Chains A and B, each alone.
Chain A
Amino acid sequence: EAQVTQNPRYLITVTGKKLTVTCSQNMNHEYMSWYRQDPGLGLRQIYYSMNVEVTDKGDVPEGYKVSRKEKRNFPLILESPSPNQTSLYFCASSFEGNDSPLHFGNGTRLTVT
């Protein structure tokens, strides 16, 4: 089944404890991206990647890192999480960027205390 898999689905952590949210897609998509969703602020892009080893900042990249060492994986790393990173995170992929439909993972609800 074609899908984007994110893990974990829920995560509660403390300020400063490094964490990684994994994202994997099995559709051989070139493009992958991370969004966060917050009440009143909507969906905002954190980082995106057009291909292996090619990543770029989105609208809200501060406090996040990403890597794209393999086509299928695009992990989101929070080196030192803070409470303002409490959010619902979505990984997404598409065939070739903006004009192709985005396929989203199921989301990761992160709480930083």
Chain B
Amino acid sequence: AQKVTQAQTEISVVEKEDVTLDCVYETRDTTYYLFWYKQPPSGELVFLIRRNSFDEQNEISGRYSWNFQKSTSSFNFTITASQVVDSAVYFCALPSESSYKLIFGSGTRLLVRP
């Protein structure tokens, strides 16, 4: 069965620290996409990134970077030099094999303290 596991329920860091959010997934698909979404305190869900399982190169976007490793079924998200505005719940997600929906992890709440 498909599954997305975000084992870190909550992480608290001080501003300017680097932080990594873990995501481990299970799927029988041989090709698939993976996603990260952000839910800030205001409540909306914001798309951050989509990666194809063919491409294991790290992706960097400003202070954000993503490390995809097919061998360990992980798709981790690192924020470098964290800022208070990064405080949010972050969700990792995987498309369902059998239906038209995303399977979301339970989310990691990140608190960045000034």
Q: Which residues of A are at the interface with B, using a C-beta cutoff of 8 A?
A: 31, 33, 42-43, 45, 48, 50, 56, 58-59, 88, 90, 92, 97-99, 101-107, 109
A51 CB → nearest B CB, Å: 11
Chain-A contact segment, one of B16-24, B63-71, B97-105 = B97-105
A31-B100, A43-B104 known; A103-B33 Cβ under 8 A: no
Contact A102 B100 (CB under 8 A): no
Q: Which residues of B are at the interface with A, using a C-beta cutoff of 8 A?
A: 33, 35, 37, 43-47, 50, 91, 95-96, 99-102, 104-107
Contact B44 A58 (CB under 8 A): no
Contact B100 A90 (CB under 8 A): no
Q: How far is the CA of A90 from the CA of B106 in the complex (A)?
A: 16
A110 CB → nearest B CB, Å: 13
A31-B100, A33-B100, A33-B101 known; A99-B45 Cβ under 8 A: no
Q: How far is the CA of A50 from the CA of B50 in the complex (A)?
A: 20
Contact A103 B104 (CB under 8 A): no
